[in-house]
Chain A
Amino acid sequence: MSLAKPAMRGLLGKRLRFHLPIAFALSVVAAAAFKYGVTEPRKQAYADFYKQYDATKEFNNMREAGIFESVRPTGK
């Protein structure tokens, strides 16, 4: 039994036409997933933290803990 003639031209072109749009789409999805799964929550966490941040109060806590050299805790 003799073999039929298979397709012999444009095989790579066909493969690329199929896979490149998918690859491009998946890359965009991966970037979007990272942006909305990682960077945006991270930015939101920082924003939430600093929304209610009282720098003076934290400074005084650190001062009382004695970590500074330039300013001693109150009460000598």
Chain B
Amino acid sequence: MFRAVRLSTSGIRSLTQTRPCYSAPLASRCYSHAKVETDEEFDARWVTYFSKPDIDAWELKKGMNTLIGYDLVPEPKILDSALRACRRLNDLASAIRILEAVKDKSGPHKDIYPYLIQELQPTLIELGISTPEDLGMDIL
């Protein structure tokens, strides 16, 4: 009985520790022959997704929901692309919601959101997007 317990703990440890195959947070299995997408490819794919000139509201929402499901906070360039898609769709609400979402995604890491706002400042000014803090929407 104890051997089974020890085997299962070492099994779990090896599952959580030996993961050289993934840097991307997508649903990747540990097949050694599968091609793993690099972070840059991942980012580029999402920037392209939101850059579609005739993106529709559903695709925007679907894209954001999928993106938020990953174990990462989206890069500023992905968010920039998404905010511009909101601009094309005349959707200010979604633009502000995106900012709220990435703040929530950061969880306990409080240094991520200020960094993102810093990087997105030119875009926010250009597109005329207020942050939740500007609107007083960040307090519960």
A residues sitting closer than 8 Å to B (CB atoms) are 2-13, 16-17, 20-21, 24-25, 28
Contacts and interface: CB of A to CB of B under 8 A. Distances in A.
Contacts of B73: 8-9, 11
Contact of A9 (B5, B12, B23, B107): B23
B16 A2 contact: no
A48 B115 CA distance: 68
Given A2-B118, A3-B118, A17 B71 contact: no
B118 A17 contact: no
Interface of B: 5, 9, 12-13, 16-17, 23, 25, 39, 71-75, 106-107, 109, 111-112, 114-115, 118
A3 B114 contact: yes
A17 B16 contact: yes
A6 B120 CA distance: 15
B71 A11 contact: yes
Given A6-B112, A28-B5, A16 B72 contact: no
Nearest to B72: A9
B118 A11 contact: no
B17 A17 contact: yes
A20 to B, nearest CB: 6
A6 B25 contact: no
A23 B118 CA distance: 37
A20 B72 contact: no
Contact of A11 (B23, B39, B107, B114): B107
Nearest to A28: B5
A13 B71 contact: yes
A7 B17 CA distance: 19
A27 B16 CA distance: 18
A42 to B, nearest CB: 20
